[in-house]
Structure 1
Amino acid sequence: MKSPITLFVYTFVVLSFAWAASAHNHEDFLHCLSLHSPNSSSISKTIYTPNDSSYSSVLNFSIHNLRFATPRTPKPQVIVTPLQVSEIKASIICAKTTGFQIRTRSGGHDYEGLSYVSDVPFIIVDLINLRSINVDAKNNVAWVQSGATIGELYYRIAEKSKTLGFPAGVCPTVGVGGHFSGGGYGLMLRKFGLAVDNVIDAYFIDVNGNLHDRKSMGEDVFWALRGGGGASFGIVVAWKIKLLQVPPIVTVFTVPRTLEQNATNLIHRWQYIASKQDDRLFIRIIIRGVNSTNPQQGSQRTLEAAFNSMFLGKSEELLPIMQNTFPELGLTKEDCIEMSWIESILYFAGFPSGQPLNVLLDRTPLFPKRFFKAKSDYVNEPIPKAALEGTWELFKEEEAEAAEMILSPYGGIMDEISESETPFPHRAGNLYKIQHLVYWEEEGEDIAERHINWIRKLYSYVAPYVSNNPRAAYINYRDLDIGMNNKNGKTSYEEASVWGVKYFKGNFKRLVSIKTKVDPSNFFMNEQSIPSILPWWKKRAH
């Protein structure tokens, strides 16, 4: 057995060697880039290393979960912010040549930081400069580069048309690349499906640095890119999307109800009707703790359920629908606000009333960044009222002060699209999806552990009431608790299936097959990337 001193010296030598080799590779990588770039002076302006004064600001600007912005978080040897496709090609070729892993970042909203963190020497290809958007309102299509945010996309659509929209998410600073790669959904989910259900072409760079469109990549790869998760197959540079007709006026409302105002019964009732509503109507519930003032008992902590909704039409159409299907909520005309579709984007993003539309072009988040951990579930049968009440008990704990559950209804067109149409399989049979979230403000491993343990306890508590075999999850709400690949890059199909079938169900097998064909050496990899599974006799060749 090695003595502690011997072990320390051994560890120090190994780590010193690793850092020295990494620094050497970093210089090799930069030299390789200069050789493979058409204009070496141009690419030098898009490269950042730890020696550059702006390195930290470039790295941290697109980090949205402070868990991965601490001094202990592994940092990239190089950040490349390409201005053109040739610089992405060069980055792939040179990372392969010099032994770096690539992490690709579009908006930086990966819940587990996988687009900008790795435990092995790595570079970031940050697509922030590749964000052009070309809207063709005449033909109801648009090309959008992966580095654009969905807020920028919405703004550019609205510039060209007041009656065209796109069914993506509510957070305007989310990057198009990551959002589309995992499926992407928003408040028009029940009418138009996912973002990727409306993607009709893409530009994609493979592991060899070759640029493809839908025709040259083939239908298998095009299928895999639309919901198979980011950074498994290559780098998607741009997406061609189908724009959809929205009415000139939509109606929004937010009706809050506390436990004392019958919230539990309303949530229980909502489960039976939300997925069966008119497909123009989307009513989600945001559940969180709030302080309530009671004349008898003074200020006390309670739970609030905010019924947060958009209807693709006027309030005069909405009110009879609500009266017939969900009269218990007591929606009134005074609760309803009519506005344009693009104005509703600002409403659901939390912007104050009267803000100009160009706030959607700002990549800086509206709210301060925080530490957080998230999980997801799909619900196939209504959760019993007693189980809901048991959940509320967990929200009384100290760690739940800034916790949320967001319930988003399914049904509508989602019931009509096959599970295998895209890699995203969560279609018919789901009443709603749950996003579990817990936030905290202070840095520290002990503080993080307490909050993460709390959300794991919540996740364990609701297990009997959500989907099972597999317990389904949404890849854009990435959760490394449900399983990870081996860090040495050698992961068996069985090992990867532990997490893979939860995200992709029966589509996981096809994703692995496609990955093995397009990236046999498993170059594009992370803790939850689709693995390449080669027969043993082929592995030797690679």
Structure 2
Amino acid sequence: MALSSTNLALYCFLCLAISLASSHPAYDSFLHCLSIHSPPSTNFSQLVYFPDTDSYSSLLLSSIQNLRFASPTTPKPLLILEPADASQIQASVICCRIHSLTLRVRSGGHDYEGLSYRSDHDSRFILLDLASLRSISVDTEHGIAWVQSGATLGELYYRIAEKSSLHGFPAGICHTVCVGGHLSGGGVGTLVRKYGLSADNVLDATLVDVKGRLLDRESMGEDLFWAIRGGGGASFGIIVSWKVRLVPVPPTVTVFTLRRTLEQGAIELLNKWQHVAHKLHEDLFLQAHIQPSEGGEKGVVAVFTSLFLGGCAELLQHTGKSFPELGVKRNDCREMSWIQSAVYFAGYTNGEPVEVLLDRGLYSKGFQKGKSDYVKDPIPLSGWEGIWRRFSEQGAGSMFMDPHGGRMDEILESEIPFPHRRGNLFNIEYTVEWNDSGSWAAEKHLDWIGRMHGYMRPYASKHPRAAYLNCRDLDLGKNEEGNTSYSTAKVWGRKYFKNNFKRLAIVKGKVDPEDFFWSEQSIPPLIVDKERRSSLIGFKALISKPKPPIKHFL
């Protein structure tokens, strides 16, 4: 293909930039490829960022949320590409494949293990940063929205509320998380018991596949569309945008936050919470979490935070009947709109304006590690006492618990790759965060979360001990570069996806058999013939099972 005069001039500019920025031999051929496959209107100075330049460093660090992976020793990408549209993503995929370059894709950078912007094994990788793809189109008449992968949850919530106070979307509470990764991993939030996961409310998507084609639901097929909703989209392609179902919310919702200490019966309240939270009315979400403070065991605090889709009077009826021990009173409640509750759960509880949801830089960054669990049987009181003691130790973090039940019990495990449905009382997310960059601080906090996770083994789900993909944990296992074995990956894959892991691997084998979209925890390709494939994924069983009713917006 001949270069247009515009692209020829741009290519000359790129060659000059290469000579100034670096002498790496891979640059010239790769950028020549980009200039051929990109539209003539491409502004390469805003697409390509070279190492050893201020703009490269600034863009790389802008979305690294976990400072564990911002150190000088962390492998850096050969180049950073910041596409402005889908055509530039297509060109990037085509040229990375041609040049055998690993591609990492980042929307918000909240991956606990940093796999969206780093590689444990390969320094020859390109980072595709989707921060510029932030378009949101809301259609309240039809109850839908199209949102690009680089948009944050806060931006999505805000744009919905701009159009209607009676629509919302079920997703997480951290407003700086971007929809690209959040929806492809599941998406748990305060509306989970009413409407399920974010991924349960995805209606369509656009994706660039391994061949550089831009596909929608119809052209990608139902197998691939199934896989990207909870199976981790980065294993199968690059999600450009999602079409999501908006859900009805009332004009008034109610929130409260109650803190209870050891002297106030916190352990007994946690014990009772696990028996009732998943059985409450689906309009009522009651989260519990444990966090340390000064003063040893007496300084540890249990925090109960709630969202109710209705007014305070009705909320008090529910809590008074099902959980009177918690002691919720009228003056504990705050009535507000749904969008104001999104601000509240994002941590802004002093009447801050809803515009804070648009600010991507409000959260301070630190060093982090996360782990997760699912609980199917009540933890004995002695177990809660042991949990409590561990929060008075050095390096202690937090333990967040979200109840299941409600809509989550109605959806089949095989409906999407996320399998953690009926039978789960609640999920747990363990987190540790610290600010000291020294190795001693890291060892202290990593040791605590490892021991905490170990202590919880008798109380967590079994066969497998399940985990949540959006709380990625490389301690569960990882792929080895150049030898991605299905049998090896199954060890960690079944923890995230249970019996859905095999179907995910079969879909991967169909759409990306050479494993171009590889990472340390990407789905491995499992290639089987068509007849055997149907039996392995239980096709007849899948189509014979009735689907639970979906609650559309009326």
The superposition leaves residues 36-81 of structure 1 with CA deviations (integer Å, 9 ceiling, x where unpaired) of: 1112651332211113221111011101111111111111111111
Distance 2:169 2:388 in 1: 35
Matched, 1:384 2:380: yes
Distance 2:50 2:333 in 1: 51
Question: Letter of the aligned partner of 2:225 in structure 1?
Answer: F
Q: Please name the residue that 2:77 is paired with.
A: 76
Residue among 520, 523, 526 paired with 2:519:
526
Residue among 409, 414, 421 paired with 2:408:
414
Conservation of the 8 A alpha-carbon contact between 1:492 and 1:533: no
Q: Please name the residue that 2:164 is paired with.
A: 161
Distance 1:56 1:259 in 2: 47
Matched, 1:136 2:129: no
The superposition leaves residues 453-504 of structure 1 with CA deviations (integer Å, 9 ceiling, x where unpaired) of: 211111111100110100000000000001101122x222110101000000
SS in 2 for 1:515: helix
The superposition leaves residues 221-267 of structure 1 with CA deviations (integer Å, 9 ceiling, x where unpaired) of: 00001000131000010100010110000000000001121000000
* Cα 1:266/1:433, change in 2 over 3 Å: same
Q: What is the 5 A alignment of 1:25-40?
A: 25-39=26-40
Q: What is the 5 A alignment of 1:198-237?
A: 198-237=201-240
Deviation at 1:273, TM superposition (A): 0.3
Matched, 1:322 2:319: yes
Q: Please name the residue that 2:188 is paired with.
A: 185
Distance 1:47 1:359 in 2: 30
SS in 1 for 2:430: strand
SS in 1 for 2:92: helix
SS in 2 for 1:334: helix
Q: Please name the residue that 2:498 is paired with.
A: 505
Of stretches 436-445 and 455-464 in structure 1, the one that deviates more from structure 2 is 436-445
Q: Please name the residue that 1:95 is paired with.
A: 96
Distance 1:300 1:450 in 2: 19
Conservation of the 8 A alpha-carbon contact between 2:227 and 2:416: yes
Conservation of the 8 A alpha-carbon contact between 1:182 and 1:475: yes
Deviation at 1:144, TM superposition (A): 0.4
Distance 2:434 2:472 in 1: 18
Q: Please name the residue that 2:3 is paired with.
A: none
Number of residue pairs matched by the alignment: 506
Q: Please name the residue that 2:247 is paired with.
A: 244
Distance 2:102 2:249 in 1: 42
Matched, 1:514 2:507: yes
Of stretches 163-172 and 438-447 in structure 1, the one that deviates more from structure 2 is 438-447
Q: Please name the residue that 1:108 is paired with.
A: 109
Residue among 365, 388, 392 paired with 1:396:
392
Question: Letter of the aligned partner of 2:34 in structure 1?
Answer: L
* Cα 1:40/1:136, change in 2 over 3 Å: closer
Distance 2:353 2:388 in 1: 38
Deviation at 1:510, TM superposition (A): 0.2
The superposition leaves residues 276-303 of structure 1 with CA deviations (integer Å, 9 ceiling, x where unpaired) of: 00000000012101236xxxxxx98521
SS in 2 for 1:279: coil
Question: Letter of the aligned partner of 1:186 in structure 2?
Answer: G
Question: Letter of the aligned partner of 2:379 in structure 1?
Answer: I
Distance 2:317 2:423 in 1: 27
Conservation of the 8 A alpha-carbon contact between 2:146 and 2:241: yes
Distance 2:313 2:51 in 1: 59
Residue among 349, 353, 356 paired with 2:350:
353
The superposition leaves residues 128-147 of structure 1 with CA deviations (integer Å, 9 ceiling, x where unpaired) of: 00110000011110100011
Question: Letter of the aligned partner of 1:399 in structure 2?
Answer: G
Identity of aligned residues (%): 56
Distance 2:423 2:331 in 1: 34
Q: CA RMSD in A?
A: 1.5
The superposition leaves residues 135-170 of structure 1 with CA deviations (integer Å, 9 ceiling, x where unpaired) of: 001111010001100100000000000000000000
Distance 1:492 1:99 in 2: 20
Q: Please name the residue that 2:197 is paired with.
A: 194
Deviation at 1:439, TM superposition (A): 1.2
Mind listing any 5+ residue stretches in structure 2 that lack a counterpart?
Answer: 1-21, 530-554
Question: How does the TM-score come out when normalised to structure 2?
Answer: 0.89
Conservation of the 8 A alpha-carbon contact between 1:37 and 1:43: no
* Cα 1:235/1:41, change in 2 over 3 Å: closer
* Cα 1:24/1:379, change in 2 over 3 Å: same
Deviation at 1:330, TM superposition (A): 0.4
The superposition leaves residues 386-445 of structure 1 with CA deviations (integer Å, 9 ceiling, x where unpaired) of: 111112222222111xx1000100000100000000000000000000001111111133
Residue among 477, 480, 486 paired with 1:493:
486
Q: Please name the residue that 1:363 is paired with.
A: 360
Deviation at 1:450, TM superposition (A): 2.7
SS in 2 for 1:513: helix
Distance 2:310 2:94 in 1: 51
Conservation of the 8 A alpha-carbon contact between 1:257 and 1:304: yes
Deviation at 1:323, TM superposition (A): 0.4
Distance 1:37 1:200 in 2: 29
Deviation at 1:23, TM superposition (A): 2.1
Conservation of the 8 A alpha-carbon contact between 1:43 and 1:82: no
